[in-house]
Amino acid sequence: MLLRAAEVSCAENGARLTERRRQVLSVLMQSSSPLSAYEVLDLCNLSTTSAMPAMSVYRILDFLEQQLLVHRLSTSNKYVSCAHIACDHKHFQATHFLLCEGCSSVEEVDATQEASDALEQMAETVGFKLTTQQFELSGICTTCQNSAGRGL
Amino acid sequence: MLLRAAEVSCAENGARLTERRRQVLSVLMQSSSPLSAYEVLDLCNLSTTSAMPAMSVYRILDFLEQQLLVHRLSTSNKYVSCAHIACDHKHFQATHFLLCEGCSSVEEVDATQEASDALEQMAETVGFKLTTQQFELSGICTTCQNSAGRGL
DNA sequence: CATAATATGATATAAAGTATCATCTATGTT
DNA sequence: AACATAGATGATACTTTATATCATATTATG
């Protein structure tokens, strides 16, 4: 189970995946599209008796982000669960996100060497040294391309 | 003068660069770093007797963005004036922004063909068709690289 | 000048995010 | 088991960011 893998992953960093954190992560994993902090909050509070304060959600999202279990999309201020919780994928290089304009789904992909090089090169022409890269690219996913073609 | 060029540019689109719009644009052009909407508001209201409401600033920023006189940085929710108001530069391809972590300055650059191709290629491997690209890349600008080296 | 279209003012409110301090809980120590 | 301590959460208040809505003013055009 994914949550179990996340727990192990936390433990390796000397961190704990508490009940609340599990709850937040679970909500994000069940969503097919990115959620705002307050959307996460509302979903959490549906399934619980004791309401969680907004502050906690932000804290927990920060935590999960540090643990690389969750990624924050800075263009929309929303959050998605990492696509690689289960597998032993490492975030070596930059991670990019492909945002579908049709269905709001997100695809997480590793940066290719070519893309990283090209961008670094681009920055270098004006003397800039890049420190981080994470892009959010808008487009249309396969599914939506197909359904659009058939008038759906 | 830059404002004059902006005025012409608006006129070409059948739009008007009114006094208020000029004021907002002027504030942004004078700033060495991106400003939030409310920062723009405060600066505008320093130099005027009649206070402008927040709503107007947002409306005007939207307008200026449509006219490509101003760009919005989605990672920080801030605004910068376009680097190409004076020249007859066209925004053919994607525009990227290099954000200096040292001095908060912003460098606006055109996407290189290599970078665009590499990213498009990357998206294509998972069946994604890109529609737009605009990146905000963090790094260190030339000036800050030099001053850091000398312990400043 | 009348009038329609644009632009701005004014007010209220929603949504997003942070600061701060109190309380609770897991964990290790004696 | 009792205790101390660090880490996590609760509670409250507040700041920042953004939008909705309706009234008023300004400009272009017949």
pLDDT in tens, A66-80: 999 999 999 999 999
Give the C-alpha separation, A68 to A46, whole Å: 26
Give the C-alpha separation, B62 to B146, whole Å: 36
pLDDT at A56: 97
Q: Does B123 touch chain A (CB under 8 A)?
A: yes
Distance A50 CA to C28 C1' (A): 30
Calculate the alpha carbon distances from B91 to A105, B12, B56, B83, B146 in Å. Answer: 28, 15, 26, 11, 31
pLDDT at B152: 58
Residue lying closest to nucleotide D9, CA to C1': A56
Residue lying closest to nucleotide D8, CA to C1': A18
Per residue of chain B (152 residues), give pLDDT as tens: 889 999 999 999 999 999 999 999 999 999 999 999 999 999 999 977 788 999 999 999 999 999 999 999 999 999 999 999 988 787 777 899 999 999 999 999 999 999 999 999 999 999 999 998 889 999 999 999 998 766 65
Give the nucleotide with minimal C1' distance to the Cα of A57.
D9
Q: What angle do CA A59, A24, A140 make, to 5 degrees?
A: 105
pLDDT band of A133, cuts 50, 70, 90 = confident
pLDDT at A36: 97
Return the number of other C-beta atoms located less than 10 Å from residue B51's C-beta.
9
Which chain A residue has its CA at the smallest distance from B100's CA? A128
Return the number of other C-beta atoms located less than 10 Å from residue B31's C-beta.
18
Residue A47 has pLDDT above 80, yes or no: no
Residue A107 has pLDDT above 90, yes or no: yes
Give the C-alpha separation, B130 to B117, whole Å: 11
